[in-house]
Chain A
Amino acid sequence: MNRLALLAFCTALFIAGTATAKPGDAAKGKEIYDKRCTWCHGAEGDGTGAAKELLNPPPRDFTSGNYKIKSSSFEDMVPNDDDIFRMIRDGMPGTAMPGWSDVLKEQDMWNLVAYVKTFAGYDTPPAAQVDFGTRVASSDESIAKGRKLYEEGDRCVECHGKSGKGSASKRLKGDAGERTWPRNLTKPWTFVGSSDPKDIFARLSTGIAGTEMPSFADPRSKKKLSIEERWHVANYVASLARTGRKVDAENTVIKADKLEGDLPNTPDDVRWEKTTPTTFYLVPQLIAEERYFKPSNDTLTVRALYNDKMIAMLLEWDDRTRSIPGDEAAEKLADAPIAEDGVAVQLPVAIPKGMEKPYFGMGDAKHAVNIWHWKSGAKDTTESINLANSRGFREIEKRDAARLKANASYRDGTWKVLITRALTTSSPDKDIQFAEGKFIPVAFAAWDGSNNGEKGSKHTMTTWYWLLLKPATGTRPLVAALMVMGLLAGGLLWWARSAKPAV
């Protein structure tokens, strides 16, 4: 009964929410559009602003009439004013579209809605809405049903993969011919239209206009789903989140635990599960020629372990494609030209004593860095681990990588690369010498060889973060604490004894 009441309340809220739409003034909207929006969307609203070629996804072409995130029925291309308003107000995560509510007044945003609609000649509201029916709350049962529907007849698996990571099995493209990739459903924070099951339900019902994501409400579709079934699938999709892959801005230190005995020598060793993952944003390389603008890899997760001789780092990232140059199937999926996938670890040759570090982009004339660069291999060559010392982009010295060992696996849309090295080497002037308890700057780079010509300087990277070989705590703090307590208690007692009682 309570649940019903809550549902009724929520529905009422939803209706109230949609009812707030205020009529906008398109002429006033144009003034704002011309100042704020033309840079990406173009003066004519056709998505041909100056940044067109440099953004992924490309800026929306409003003249096409396609609105990806909408709540009107799949049968009607026209979105609700509210749908457009929401995108302007809140922006679209994972794209270059910011939310404008801190700059524009509410009425300004409604005026923009009115103007933006004119590009597609939309002047009447949509004829039909998404039918949300009765919301099915998430439960183990609903999730299990959703999973069955997700997998059944290749319904969602065809593009999003069984794991939901969107590991590609076919090429997808948008209406404008641009390459599109299926969403990685395990990273709900990258959903453009929010990861609330209600929003997922809406996407399942409307499809995503201008892409190959179809409507599952369409009765003509072989894969169609009833309202209840769509709620189960939405609940299942929402349950796929792997929050360990989300960046925690406070966590900037990779903490390597010390092990007794041998380190894991495979990426799937169960001992990795006990380590703390640290996840970093990957950003495209925009500081040196040739720059890179439309990346696919967005985060990298790192774990580390060490013993008294060796250190092991496990690097994990989701990549929709295993890029194998020379392999026919891999080349079909890739944007030509295909290149190897890869990952690199950058460490200073000398651990800095003060604040001064090597330049984060491959070091500088005064400070060399070690670069451990793993490449996935081609059809005729196996994977490789390479070592280089560099002092900036142009001064790179390739070195013998015999001291580095790598072991990689690609499964279900995820690369795991394990790299090990001895803590110390015989050439301390050229190799980093790892030491317990020191904060060691570390940075990373990654390549997705199937995406947009990623190769060489065209890659994603991080800034400097920290690697710490966690020292064993030892007994010193405990002994010191006990001593302090004993001394203090003794002192206080002595004081109390020696004080003359007040008469």
Chain B
Amino acid sequence: MAVRHSEVLSPEGFRVDGRRANEARRLRLRLGASPGADGSAYVELGNTKVLATVSGPHESIRKGAHDAAALHVELTTLPFASGVYRAHGRSDRASQELCAAVRKSFEAVVQLHLYARTQIDVAVCVMQTDGGVRSAVVNAVTLALVDAGVAMEDFLCACSVGAVGGVLLLDPNAQEDQAGSELSIAYLPRSERISAVQLESKLPASSLDEVMNVAIEGCKQMFDIMRGAVQIRTQELLHSRGMFNA
């Protein structure tokens, strides 16, 4: 069901789902989506749906370095997430790779040294997949950590760009994804640094710059929405504690 190359962007400038090339899908967010957790966030990027929960910082049960907190990331993809039944183990390679990448990115952002001798557990549940899972996961984890009140140096925002037949498409969905190569980046919007880059399949080196720029633009779009959601959540919390009257 891959889209044919000639069809990814119509001469009128629309993609198969009605977006323009530089438009991300609708990003819908909810902080505190799982009330029992220390922090949680639910992210819908188009049709991709992800729930991240954070537990901790709490006393470390594992031995390790004492001068900083340990960050653990676990990822589950529900068997009905893709439209056909697939029993994902937690140990399948793709999940493991994604876990490791997420952990690495966040180790650089979370101020782990503030939480010595503790551990922070992040659990991600991928409920529905339709392209951009990596970006949705990173954005959800950022928000869950914010929700848990874990100190971070910056937001970590992620977005992907597909390059299909010379056309760059921001935030490709699964249908577009199969047609070309895809680059996803995790970006620190305030310090304007890139924390992680991942490229699936080949891309001409000459266009890398352009692709990165489009991806960064996408991350900034994501950031604006994420920041908005955090503000709403903060007001809610203040309100519920009677500290703020709108």
Please say whether chains A and B are actual partners in one complex.
Answer: no
> CB within 8 Å of A: which residues of B?
none
> CB within 8 Å of B: which residues of A?
none
